């Protein structure tokens, strides 16, 4: 399993409850661009429309060698999940006010592009501040330990 891109803000902005691995429907030029690392998950999210899951606002940069047969960088891409998984996710999203956030894109053992989508709940501002305080505290502790070991 080789990770291509991660959504670092997802952990900070959301409380992740469950992770789901999904396939993604891509064009040939998109796959080649992803292999080169030309994908960004910033500000992207997943949405359920008409019984199907779509990855919205994910940027896959155009592939240089594809010339006129290139793809649109920010088009909606279909995520491949089983029907019962989609129904279960739909129920949870409507019932509890959760959202689907892509956390990482990777190649599996067979060389297929996969997306890890997380069922997440938005964090409050004060929770985010707590995380920042903890991180700063840990950083200062590590610096002090490093000084004392010298």
- What digits encode the pLDDT tens for the residues 100-137? 999 999 988 898 889 999 998 888 888 889 888 999 99
Structural domain containing residue 98: 2-123
Structural domain contains residue 104:
yes
**Residue 45, pLDDT score:** 87
Residue 102: the pLDDT is: 92
Please state, as a whole number, how many other Cβ atoms lie within 10 Å of the Cβ of residue 126: 7
Looking at residue 143, what is its pLDDT?
A: 92
Question: CA geometry: angle at 55 spanning 53 and 56, to 5°?
Answer: 120
Q: pLDDT by residue (tens digit) across 34-66?
A: 888 888 888 888 889 888 999 998 888 888 777
* CATH number of 73's domain: 2.40.280.10
* In the predicted structure, residue 67 carries a pLDDT above the cut 80: no
Give the pairing of strands 52-56 and 45-49. Answer: antiparallel
| 106 part of a folded domain | yes
Structural domains counted in the chain: 1
């Amino acid at each position: 399993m080789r990770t291509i891109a991660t959504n670092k803000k997802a952990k900070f902005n959301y409380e992740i409850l469950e992770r789901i691995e999904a396939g993604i429907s891509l064009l040939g030029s998109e796959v080649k661009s992803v292999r080169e690392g030309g994908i960004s998950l910033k500000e992207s999210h997943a949405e359920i429309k008409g019984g199907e899951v779509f990855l919205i606002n994910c940027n896959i940069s155009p592939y240089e060698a594809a010339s006129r047969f290139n793809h649109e960088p920010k088009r909606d891409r279909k995520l491949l999940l089983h029907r019962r998984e989609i129904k279960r996710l739909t129920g949870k999203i409507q019932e509890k006010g959760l959202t689907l956030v892509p956390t990482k894109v990777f190649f599996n053992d067979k060389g297929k592009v996969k997306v890890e989508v997380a069922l997440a709940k938005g964090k409050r501002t004060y929770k985010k501040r707590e995380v920042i305080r903890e991180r700063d505290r840990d950083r200062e502790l590590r610096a002090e330990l490093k000084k004392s070991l010298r």
